[in-house]
Structure 1
Amino acid sequence: MRIQDIIEGKREWRAHMARVKALPQDYQIVYKEIQKYLFKVGPAQLTEGAGLLSGIVELFEEGAAFGKGVLEVTGSDVAAFCDDLIKDSKTYADIYQESVGQEVNKAMKKVTDKAK
């Protein structure tokens, strides 16, 4: 990754966070919790491109513009809201499970090859 890419990424992130800070307080609180949740269990490609986080901010901006409370937008189970957003995305847990499976298969192959 080039230095220019890093600088541009930081610039985009700061602009993104400025949008979050412009949201009503209840939206900011829920956004930050969603962000923490997604960083822990979310998709491996969370911040690339326009991305999921930008889409959430757009949804929140629209909800706030219509005078809705944040839980009217997400529902009362915010974790379920997040899980629904990422249901078709590959997560870090998925990647780790695949690597564990591959390592076990390699180890088992070595054992069976030695037994022959």
Structure 2
Amino acid sequence: MGIQDIIEGKKQWRAHTARVKALPPDYQIVYKEMQKYLFKVGPVDLPDGPLLPGIVDFFEEGAAAGKGVLELIGSDVAAFCDDLIKGSPTYAEIYQESISGEAGATEK
């Protein structure tokens, strides 16, 4: 990864955060909670993937339609996030597989 890639990545992230800050306050709060949860759960392609920008797109459309954020996602933010990443490999799963693989190797 070169310097240009790092600079471009920072520009994209700043543009992304500017879009989040343009959302209504309730949307911003829920987005930040979703972001924390997703960074903790850790889908492997989260930093470079389309998930976070897609959430912002979804929220922008909901805000433009005059809907409340909980009307869009429901009251369980974690369950909504889990549905979004269903089928995506996560760091937690990769770690669990590596542990179970190592335990199997030492038992032989």
Q: Does the aligned pair in 2 maintain the 1:23–1:64 contact within 8 Å?
A: yes
CA offset digits 1:95-114 (Å, max 9, x no partner): 001110121122123xxxxx
Compute the TM-score of the two structures, normalised by the length of structure 1. Answer: 0.89
- What percent of counterpart residues are identical? 74
Residue identity in the other structure for 1:27: Y
Give the 3-state SS of the residue equivalent to 2:63 in structure 1.
Answer: helix
| Residue matched to 1:41 | 41
Tell me the CA shift for residue 42 of structure 1: 3.2
| Residue matched to 1:114 | none
Compute the TM-score of the two structures, normalised by the length of structure 2. Answer: 0.96
How far, CA to CA, are the matches of 1:101 and 1:83 in structure 2? 23
Count of matched residue positions in the alignment of Structure 1 and Structure 2: 108
Q: Does the aligned pair in 2 maintain the 1:16–1:54 contact within 8 Å?
A: yes
* Aligned-CA RMSD value: 0.9
| Residue matched to 2:88 | 89
Q: Does the aligned pair in 2 maintain the 1:34–1:79 contact within 8 Å?
A: yes
Pairing 1:21–2:21 present: yes
How far, CA to CA, are the matches of 1:37 and 1:73 in structure 2? 18
Give the 3-state SS of the residue equivalent to 2:7 in structure 1.
Answer: helix
CA offset digits 1:12-69 (Å, max 9, x no partner): 00000000000000000000000000000131110214x1000000000000000000
Which consecutive unaligned segments of at least 5 residues does structure 2 have? none
Residue identity in the other structure for 1:46: L
| Residue matched to 1:103 | 102
| Residue matched to 1:112 | none
| Residue matched to 1:64 | 63
How far, CA to CA, are the matches of 2:48 and 2:39 in structure 1? 13
